[in-house]
């Protein structure tokens, strides 16, 4: 784990955790999606504890919550099936894709959209930002 090394280095530092919109607005799914949502909520709690305890060492800790991002997690046969069911109106109750929409007119973000937020958080422009949840969610959390 990086924390002991950051503390021992004595120069402060930045930790950015990857959350999910699943930690900002539950979509009411069942099955494995519940475990995913619970894990992302747990990551927020962990971030807050670390932000509180590491601030005295000049270490900032934040989390970025992306909506769907083009990746192996979203671009696969299982996701294509869920998306097709949602589009056709034949989605079962456990199809969380059917309840996952972005407010802005974009279905899926590109990895660099999230990278830009992380780059900001690790930059000097965010030198006083810690313990925060940054949403890069195209308005998903507002629906």
Share of the chain above pLDDT 90, in %: 52
The answer to whether residues 118 and 136 touch, using CB atoms and an 8 Å cutoff, is no
pLDDT tens digits, 101-138: 778 888 779 999 999 999 999 999 999 999 999 999 99
pLDDT of 96 reads 52
* Residue 55 neighbours by CB distance under 10 Å: 14
Task: Tell me what pLDDT residue 107 has.
Answer: 79
Catalytic, out of 7, 27, 36, 58? 36
Domain 13-138 fold: Rossmann fold (3.40.50)
Q: Is 50 a catalytic residue?
A: no
pLDDT tens, residue by residue, 79-107: 666 666 655 666 555 555 545 677 888 87
Structure-token match 């503390």, residue found: 7
- pLDDT confidence of residue 93: 55
Burial of 141 (0-12, 13-18, 19+ CB in 10 A): middle
pLDDT of residue 100: 62
Comparing CA positions, the residue from 104, 35, 111 lying closest to residue 72 is: 111
pTM score, whole prediction: 0.81
Predicted pLDDT at 124: 97
């Amino acid at each position: 784990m990086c924390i002991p090394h950051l503390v021992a280095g004595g120069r402060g530092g930045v930790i950015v955790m990857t959350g999910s919109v699943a930690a900002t607005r539950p979509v009411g799914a069942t099955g494995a999606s519940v475990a995913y949502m619970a894990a992302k909520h747990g990551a927020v709690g962990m971030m807050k504890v670390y932000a509180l305890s590491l601030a005295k060492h000049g270490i900032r800790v934040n989390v970025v919550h992306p909506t769907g991002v083009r990746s192996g997690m979203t671009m696969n046969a299982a996701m294509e099936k869920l998306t097709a069911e949602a589009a056709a109106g034949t989605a079962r109750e456990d199809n969380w894709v059917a309840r996952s929409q972005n407010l802005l007119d974009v279905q899926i973000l590109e990895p660099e959209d999230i990278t830009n937020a992380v780059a900001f958080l690790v930059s000097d422009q965010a030198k006083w930002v810690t313990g925060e949840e940054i949403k890069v969610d195209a308005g998903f959390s507002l629906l």
